[in-house]
Chains A and B, each alone.
Chain A
């Protein structure tokens, strides 16, 4: 008996769009953890971050805490805005995110993905979600732990309103860091077929923009060079999210670059948004099938 061989379209129930995006994202979440070396680097970074969080928690929970860990300054300048933390986020983003799109380009997997009912924008959303969640885990996660620790053992008497505002500020600050970093890393990842080169380009960009303002640091007022450093921009916008609370004692000034930015925070926000959108536009342009490129 001969079986009917002509094409029959699928008549079953299709999964919703978000499920397809989530399926892609889930694959992306597990991929970096499949390599032992990646796992080692990621583990080391988490350990350093959690170790630092622990030190901050202990410092802020003593009977006579140092002045600089009082108030929400603890989260701002001693965690999110700390240069070392920014650097660790950079390494994590390079380790986890550099291969996201470049590996798919290398293996011609784009053809596989985009020949299904997955649009380029769905693919981009999935990749964005993957890296964004990873970065949130190292920004929001530890900050939440610290926040809960301060609720329990901190020296500041917070009202519910202030506590919730701090919580919202922590969430906002995490997003302000994670979104532009994710966009930039994906852009670099889409520029090359070699994950190693993508990671190098991102690191080079970060190190250059980190060093340049330092070379100009002798000129402090109205120095627009500070806008070049990504961490200055995220710190400026992040600090904007926090409630400014009067404290019992004056704070010692930490050499916070956000205090000396040459513009208002909303300008920094616009710059961050523009950088993110431009990066995502670059990725979208690169997500063309081979036949569309000719």
Chain B
């Protein structure tokens, strides 16, 4: 009973923290950008521009490729190194739950909430396209649901990565940004070679290709040629599972070994 109370208190604390201060403002900006962009694209589209492509474009190019990274970077680092910096980690980690359980609970609650918020953003994007391009709202919302599933997988993976960075490194922002910007974005978009299949972004594309695009890449992946292909659904599932499992385990090990120093140590 005591541990149940502690679990609920921790989850509730994590969720409430997300709606306060700077984090809330940045999250609101990130969630509102896709619908804004979708509305702009829809409003300025000329004849021949498919409404589905507008939704695919916003989901693939904006949400899955970049916004997810920024959103999870903000929250992942706030939960880990941010709390150590501002001194609230002392209160979180002196409870009756072991540290690894604390991390799992907060990871879970944050992933769920961010997934819900991302769904809200994608749903609004779908509605924006539906309104501006006279497109069927139901079909767009279906797309939004499918992309939300892919996005929630991405959120889990990136959040695990950034939590690991936050607990394992003294400069987590630098490490996290280097890892994602220089590997995920540069390799995914500018190096269409075989090892590009090992970026999380391309594997999320692989999931999206099967779930949201029914296996028809259309023009979205036309620059993938030669020895490189977008991973299949099974390959992508395996990759994201391993990625998530590895970094979540690494984050738990990191938090169990992290000394929470005071400001005097800095």
Contacts and interface: CB of A to CB of B under 8 A. Distances in A.
Interface of A: 35, 37-38, 40-41, 44, 83-84, 87-88, 91, 194, 196-197, 199-200, 203-204, 207-208, 211-212, 214-219, 224-225
A219 B48 contact: yes
B26 A200 contact: yes
Given A84-B186, A87-B185, A211-B62, A37 B70 contact: no
Given A200-B73, A216-B45, A219-B46, 15 more contacts: A37-B171, A41-B174, A41-B178, A84-B189, A87-B186, A87-B189, A91-B181, A91-B182, A197-B22, A203-B70, A204-B30, A207-B66, A211-B65, A215-B57, A224-B44
Contacts of B174: 37-38, 40-41
Contact of B61 (A40, A200, A211): A211
Contacts of A35: 171
Contact of A87 (B74, B175, B190): B190
B120 interface: no
A91 B58 CA distance: 23
A208 B177 CA distance: 17
Nearest to A204: B70
A43 to B, nearest CB: 11
Contacts of B57: 211, 214-216
Contacts of B186: 84, 87-88
Contact of A196 (B173, B175, B185): B173
A203 B45 CA distance: 26
A25 to B, nearest CB: 24
Nearest to A45: B182
Q: Dominant SS at the A interface? A: helix
Contacts of B41: 212, 215-216, 225
Interface of B: 22, 26, 29-30, 33, 37, 40-41, 44-46, 48-49, 53-54, 57-58, 61-62, 65-67, 70, 73-74, 171, 173-175, 177-178, 181-182, 185-186, 189-191, 219
Pick the 4 closest A-B CB pairs, nearest first.
A215-B57, A37-B174, A84-B190, A211-B61
Contacts of B58: 215
A285 B124 CA distance: 34
A210 to B, nearest CB: 8
A224 B73 CA distance: 32
Contact of A194 (B22, B44, B65, B177): B22
Contacts of B66: 204, 207-208, 211
Contact of A214 (B48, B61, B181): B61
Given A83-B190, A197-B22, A212-B37, A44 B70 contact: no
A21 to B, nearest CB: 30
A62 B33 CA distance: 48
Contacts of B62: 207-208, 211-212, 215
Contacts of A215: 37, 41, 53-54, 57-58, 61-62
Q: Which of A40, A87, A88, A211: most chain B Cβ within 10 A?
A: A211
